[in-house]
Structures are given as structure tokens and as C-alpha cells.
Amino acid sequence: MGTKRISGIIQLLLIGVFAPLLAEAQTAGPCSETVTKFCKDVTPGGGRIMKCLSDHRDDQSMACRDWLEDQNKSLKELNTSCTEEIARWCSFDASDSVRIYRCLENNYMALKSDCRQKLREIKDRML
């Protein structure tokens, strides 16, 4: 599996992982104003809200931009921490990011420590 495919898998994974955070950002979080103003007709899921937010980057508050930057940072960190594990155990359809996240959770004890830690950090932020 190539690095480009793995990177795409990770991006889709985080879209699924951060879907609950996007829902929070939509109603009460740092991007709620942007979502309400520019993305209200966007159907949630499949990364559509994230794409809408990216399309309206210039229209966002600094808090929203910072929040999105944090999500991108997590994406890069997870990619670095879990590349082997995703390639080994989760090499199915990359468009199902929730399935990939669950795959990592289901293989938690077999994950290398840095991948386990990154997965825990992301999960803790979701709570």
C-alpha cells in the first residue's frame, strides 16, 4: 500500500473520528457561526462539512481556524503513529473512516504504543 493511499485513508479516518466534534462545532463550537452562515445546507457526513469549512477559510473566526488547524495536526500525528497498523489491519475500503477508526480500536492491544497513545488522545478530545 502506497504512502499516498495511506495518507488518504488517514484523512478519511479523521473525518469520521472528528464527525462528533464537527457536530459540536456546528451547534456550539468555534466554527458554529461559519457553519450556520455558509454550510447550513450541507448534509453532514463524508467530510462535507469539513470541506465547506475549508472552502470558507477566509470567512472564519480565528478560533475556528485554530480548531481546524488542531484537527489537521492530529491527522498528521495519527498518520505518523499508526501508518503500519492501518496498512496491516485496516486495509479495506478507505471511504469508510468510521470503520477504520473502529478497526484501530478493535486491534488496540496489538497497536504499537505510540499509535495507542495517539488513539487515546483523539478519543479523549472527543469526550
DSSP string, 21-50: HHHHHHHTSTTHHHHHHHSTTSPSSTTHHH
- Check: CB of residue 74 under 8 Å from CB of residue 120: no
The crossing angle, in degrees rounded to 10, of helices 113-126 and 62-89 is 140
Cα–Cα distance for residue pair 42/32, rounded to 1 Å: 13
- pLDDT (tens digit, 9 = 90+) per residue, 62-96? 998 888 888 767 767 776 788 899 888 887 655 45
Mean predicted confidence (pLDDT) in 33-45: 86
How distant, in Å, are the alpha carbons of 6, 19, 39, 103, 117 from that of 97?
12, 10, 21, 10, 19
Instruction: Evaluate if pTM is beyond 0.75.
Output: no
Q: C-alpha 100: how far from its chain's center? A: 11
**Helical (H) or strand (E) element with 84:** helix 62-89
Q: Is the pLDDT of residue 103 over 60?
A: yes
What's the grid cell of residue 104?
484501530
